[in-house]
Amino acid sequence: MRRLSYLEASRVAVAEEMERDPLVWAVGEDLGRGGVFGQYKGLAEQFGPDRISDAPISESCIVGAAVGAAMMGTRPIVEMRFSDFALCAVDELVNQAAKARYMFGGQTRVPIVVREPIGMWRSSAAQHSQSLEAWYAHIPGLVVAVPSTPADNRALLKAAIRCDDPVVFMEHKGLWPLEGEVPEGDDVAPFGKARLVREGGDLTIVSWSAAVHTAEQAAGELAGLGIETDLLDLRTLWPWDRDAVLASVEKTGRLLVVHEAVAVAGFGAEIAATVAESCHAALKAPVRRLGAPRVPISYAPPLENEVRVTAEAVVAAARDMTGQ
- Catalytic site residues? 128
SS (H, E, C) 170-195: CCEHHHCCCEEEECCCCCCCCCCCCE
Q: If we measure between CA atoms, which residue out of 174, 122, 128 comes closest to residue 153?
A: 174
148 contacts 210 by C-beta, under 8 angstroms = yes
Calpha distance 96→276 (Å, rounded): 34
Query: Residue 293: how many CB atoms within 10 A of its CB?
Result: 9
- The angle formed by the CA atoms of residues 21, 237 and 23, to the nearest 5 degrees, is 10
Q: If we measure between CA atoms, which residue out of 125, 174, 133, 131 comes closest to residue 296?
A: 125
DSSP letters, 297-320, are PPSSHHHHHHTPPPHHHHHHHHHH
293 contacts 262 by C-beta, under 8 angstroms = yes
Calpha distance 324→321 (Å, rounded): 8
**How far out from the chain centre does Cα 21 lie?**
24
309 contacts 292 by C-beta, under 8 angstroms = yes
Longest dimension (CA), the chain: 60
Calpha distance 291→11 (Å, rounded): 30
